[in-house]
């Protein structure tokens, strides 16, 4: 017993004299975490390739019986009857049809992206528009979206919302990393959808309630705001002579290389709100902004924006102040399309005038 105590005391003494540095332990943890992540990703991609190869063989076999109009349907049903009892529901008729569709849309195996799993590819092959499908594929890879995040972005019509203020070529060029966004309109969507906050559609709440909910769901909020956003501060205090002011949210966008100041409004937007935000932007440009950074952007996030008030409250060459409407629920596709058409008509009328 005394020998065991002696050994333990020596071990403890040795640990105290030669403690492992935190950086060393962190490095070992990183190696383990990366290995685990790569192992999961490898398994996921093996599954993707399995379904791709199944789709390839179904397509090739189907072509041999192309003279029979119903041969493809018969082939898949017969295959499902043989596979499903042995391998489970993952090899039913619907899944096998998706395998065939997967191969037809992605016929080159080397073009498949190892960062995406089968769940994500299943979402992508349901998108008929090839440009739209490519956009979501690229953005899912660029931003490391999970399957749930990709699903939300598709359901919230991210692609269509960006097209409301951008042309398709610009949107795809940014996704392909062929160009860097030059204006907030290229990143920020209209409207901003905040259904993840779980707030009521017609609530009686104040700006600080909305702000607290956004901070609580910060990751989702930054994802919804767009690419390249990082959180800087909440209720940022600035002092102008003896007067102090507080900016609701301060973000930074690494793509635009500028600060982004956000003011929240749950009531009616006024020209005073715009003037106050303009003051905050001027302060950041003159005090906080570094010489090599771009001009600060100010965003008024509101429930209902009056475009005429915004337009008349700002100079004609304004490019740094914008009002973005937000909604607390996920609109239906029909509602989104209706709003998109309304915005397009407004833009066309403006150009015609």
The pLDDT of residue 11: 46
Q: Please tell me the distance from the alpha carbon of residue 62 to that of residue 74, in angstroms, as a whole number.
A: 10
Q: Give the residue-averaged pLDDT of 152-180.
A: 89
Nearest to residue 258, comparing CAs of 222, 303, 310, 294?
294
Q: Please tell me the distance from the alpha carbon of residue 91 to that of residue 78, in angstroms, as a whole number.
A: 11
Q: Please tell me the distance from the alpha carbon of residue 33 to that of residue 332, in angstroms, as a whole number.
A: 39
Has residue 177 got a pLDDT over 60?
A: yes
The phi, psi pair for 131, rounded to 5°, reads -65, -45
Contacts of 271 (CB under 8 A, 6+ apart): 309, 312, 313
Q: Judge contact between 266 and 205, C-beta under 8 A.
A: yes
The pLDDT of residue 205: 66
In this structure, the number of other CB atoms found within 10 A of the CB of residue 261 comes to 26
Has residue 268 got a pLDDT over 90?
A: no
The pLDDT of residue 116: 95
For residue 160, give both structure tokens. Answer: 């269509």
pLDDT tens per residue, range 198-243: 876 655 567 788 889 999 999 999 989 988 899 999 999 999 888 9
Has residue 134 got a pLDDT over 70?
A: yes
The rounded mean pLDDT for the chain is: 84
For residue 51, give both structure tokens. Answer: 């379904």
For residue 41, give both structure tokens. Answer: 């990703």
Strand partners, 250: 233, 261
For residue 314, give both structure tokens. Answer: 């700002």
**What does DSSP assign to residue 178?**
S
Nearest to residue 350, comparing CAs of 318, 311, 315?
311
The pLDDT of residue 72: 76
Q: Which CATH fold would you assign to the domain 192-330? A: Trna Endonuclease; Chain: A, domain 1 (3.40.1350)
Q: Which residue has the higher pLDDT, 16 or 346?
A: 346
pLDDT tens per residue, range 26-72: 777 787 787 777 777 788 888 999 999 999 999 988 887 565 657 77
For residue 39, give both structure tokens. Answer: 């192992």
Q: Judge contact between 144 and 135, C-beta under 8 A.
A: no
List for the chain the helix, strand, coil content (%; round to 5): 60, 15, 30
Q: Give the residue-averaged pLDDT of 255-266.
A: 92
- Please report, to the nearest 10 degrees, the dihedral formed by the alpha carbons of residues 158, 163, 168, 169 taken in order: -90
Q: Where along the chain do its domains lie?
A: 23-108+116-122, 127-184+333-353, 192-330
Q: Give the residue-averaged pLDDT of 306-315.
A: 67
Give 220-258 as a DSSP string: HHHHHH-TTEEEEEEEEEEEETTEEEEEEEEEEETTTTE
Q: Give the residue-averaged pLDDT of 315-332.
A: 79
């Amino acid at each position: 017993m005394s020998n065991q105590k002696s050994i333990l005391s020596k071990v403890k003494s040795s640990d105290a004299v030669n403690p492992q540095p935190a950086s060393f332990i962190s490095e070992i943890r990183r190696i383990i975490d990366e290995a685990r992540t790569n192992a999961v990703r490898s398994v996921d991609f093996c599954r993707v390739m399995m379904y791709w190869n199944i789709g390839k063989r179904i397509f090739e076999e189907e072509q041999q019986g192309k003279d029979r109009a119903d041969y493809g349907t018969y082939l898949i049903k017969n295959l499902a009857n043989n596979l499903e009892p042995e391998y489970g529901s993952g090899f039913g008729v619907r899944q096998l049809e998706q395998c065939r569709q997967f191969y037809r849309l992605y016929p080159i195996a080397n073009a498949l992206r190892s960062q995406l799993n089968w769940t994500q590819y299943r979402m992508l092959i349901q998108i008929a528009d090839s440009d739209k499908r490519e956009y979501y594929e690229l953005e899912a890879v660029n931003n490391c979206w999970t399957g749930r995040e990709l699903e939300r972005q598709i359901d919230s019509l991210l692609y269509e919302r960006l097209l409301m203020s951008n042309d398709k070529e610009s949107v795809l060029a940014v996704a392909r990393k062929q160009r860097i966004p030059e204006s907030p309109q290229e990143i920020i969507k209209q409207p901003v959808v905040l259904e993840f906050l779980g707030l009521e559609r017609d609530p009686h709440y104040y700006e600080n309630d909305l702000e607290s909910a956004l901070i609580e769901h910060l990751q989702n909020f930054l994802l919804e705001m767009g690419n390249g956003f990082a959180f800087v501060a909440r209720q940022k205090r600035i002092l102008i002579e003896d007067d102090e002011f507080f900016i609701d949210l301060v973000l930074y966008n690494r793509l635009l290389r500028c600060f982004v100041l956000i003011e929240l409004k749950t009531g009616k937007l006024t020209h005073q709100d715009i003037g106050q935000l303009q003051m905050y932007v001027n302060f950041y440009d003159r005090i906080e902004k570094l010489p090599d950074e771009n001009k600060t952007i100010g965003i008024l996030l509101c429930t209902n924006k009056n475009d005429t008030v915004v337009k008349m409250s700002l100079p004609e060459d304004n490019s740094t102040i914008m009002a973005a409407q937000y909604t607390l629920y996920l609109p239906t596709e029909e509602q989104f399309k209706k709003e998109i058409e309304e915005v397009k008509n407004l833009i066309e009328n403006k150009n015609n005038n």
